[in-house]
A and B are shown apart, each in its own frame.
Chain A
Amino acid sequence: GQSLEQPSEVTAVEGAIVQINCTYQTSGFYGLSWYQQHDGGAPTFLSYNGLDGLEETGRFSSFLSRSDSYGYLLLQELQMKDSASYFCAVRDTGRRALTFGSGTRLQVQP
């Protein structure tokens, strides 16, 4: 089966940098996605890593190491609006849908 581990909560201050880690175990692996979900809102796609390395999209970057079964989401220049839950999700060879982690609740403080 599949399993993903990520921290349950992270707290940081405005303007800081925060890294949210995700480790995964799957029977086969295509890639790792990241989603953001504000309270009461829909999960929205942030990034996808199919290959090792860093993908950058504005203030957000995502990294993947396939050999370590590990990835992270890096948020820079934190803003209050970044307070939300962040989910990693794997696309693996055995399923027709993404498998999600439990989510990391990020609280950005002034």
Chain B
Amino acid sequence: ETGVTQTPRHLVMGMTNKKSLKCEQHLGHNAMYWYKQSAKKPLELMFVYSLEERVENNSVPSRFSPECPNSSHLFLHLHTLQPEDSALYLCASSQGTAPNTGELFFGEGSRLTVL
């Protein structure tokens, strides 16, 4: 596999469920990101990891919990979500944070629906 892979591609969950989103990058990058994409809104940065250390947490509610066990994998653990959390969650990677080339590599996203 190449690039950035996200699973699952679609997820429907109730407000009391616990689920996780997974991201894997096969590019040898050392920085990974979670962005949230809602209709008609800019991509919202959620978390940034550099060398497996969280370096930015953009005021995200605690019901979202990231985990980066190694430089190739990134998880987003979800619990007691709200309907307004329904969105496309995009994972990205790069060599270095905010790289000099301005280039991030995105996965195709996980479409989350909270009932």
Contact = CB atoms under 8 A, between A and B. Distances in A.
Interface of A: 4, 8, 30-33, 40-45, 48, 50, 87, 89, 91-92, 95-103
Main secondary structure of the interface of B (DSSP, over half): loop
A50 B101 CA distance: 8
Interface of B: 4, 31, 33, 35, 40-43, 45, 48, 50, 55-56, 90, 97-109
A42 B102 contact: no
Contacts of B98: 30, 91-92, 95-98
Contacts of B55: 96
A103 B39 CA distance: 10
A41 B109 CA distance: 8
A92 B45 CA distance: 14
Contacts of B105: 45
A87 B43 contact: yes
B42 A100 contact: yes
